[in-house]
Amino acid sequence: AQSVTQLGSHVSVSEGALVLLRCNYSSSVPPYLFWYVQYPNQGLQLLLKYTSAATLVKGINGFEAEFKKSETSFHLTKPSAHMSDAAEYFCAVSVASPGSARQLTFGSGTQLTVLP
Amino acid sequence: DVKVTQSSRYLVKRTGEKVFLECVQDMDHENMFWYRQDPGLGLRLIYFSYDVKMKEKGDIPEGYSVSREKKERFSLILESASTNQTSMYLCASGTATNEKLFFGSGTQLSVL
């Protein structure tokens, strides 16, 4: 079974500072990895995904993540935080199951606060 | 614009009531999912469906059932609501490969 661990349930950064949200995964087979963002009172939307192509993945709103197999990590970064980045971020992993659909397993989430 | 619509944004029910949460998608997706979201626990999969009339249990199916009679509609049923089912419920849909899920905006259910 796959699992995801997000380090830090709350992260605060100053506007203009680097954003780093950490995600480690566990999977016995090659995974797909995702970052989703949830703004207040909304559902989740996809930020970026890794599906076994390039290990450095660029997403929307200036975010990117790097798949590091040796470290089983998929950390999310953004060079310069903006006030509008304040939201909850979820890392997720999915693996293929014979005869069934891929299921996404989510981490517990990281609430990002951006300070003026 | 693609859409996953959940029938209610807020719902208040009493213990023991039968509760229906409805979800409709307009993207002709094969797969549909029900998650519950609780603070500190992230999203946990309750049930999913990869075809009409097909369903599979997720990680926390106890106390829930689902129905998928039409491709676009996936219903979550709480047969006898309990207070520990107070939560935010999120519906999602995706293509066969699930490379991207589309989420509804959620139903906040309170069971009193």
Is B31 within 8 Å of A43 when comparing Cβ atoms? no
Query: In this structure, what token pair is assigned to residue A14?
Result: 């100053």
pLDDT category at B10 given cuts 50, 70, 90 is very high
Looking from the CA of A104 toward its CB, the CA atoms found within 13 Å total 34
pLDDT at A99 over 80: no
Burial of A79: CB neighbours in 10 Å, binned 0-12, 13-18, 19+ = exposed
**Cβ within 8 Å, pair A43-B104:** yes
Residues of B in contact with A51 (CB under 8 A): 99
CB distance B42–A108 less than 8 Å?
yes
Residue B63 clears pLDDT 90, i.e. is over it: yes
Residue A93 host element (H or E): strand A87-97
Does residue A60 sit in helix, strand or coil? Answer: helix
Q: Given CB atoms, is B50 within the 8 Å cutoff of chain A?
A: yes
Residues of chain B with pLDDT > 90, as a percent, come to 79
Query: Could you tell me whether strands A110-115 and A10-14 are parallel, antiparallel, or unpaired per DSSP bridges?
Result: parallel
Residue A83 near residue A17 (C-beta atoms within 8 A) = no
Measuring CA to CA, how many Å separate A103 from each of A52, A96, B52, B99?
A: 17, 8, 17, 10
Q: How far apart are CA B59 and CA B81, in angstroms?
A: 19
Lowest mean pLDDT among A69-73, A90-94, A97-101, B71-75: A97-101
- Candidates B101, B50, B36; CA nearest to A34 is B101
Q: What is the mean pLDDT of chain B?
A: 93
**pLDDT tens-digit series, residues A41-72:** 888 999 999 987 788 999 999 999 999 999 99
pLDDT digits (tens, 9 = 90+) for A19-30: 999 999 998 888
Chain segment B16-42, per-residue pLDDT in tens: 999 999 999 999 999 999 999 998 889
Residue with tokens 């970052």: A35
CA gap A4, A72 in Å, rounded = 10
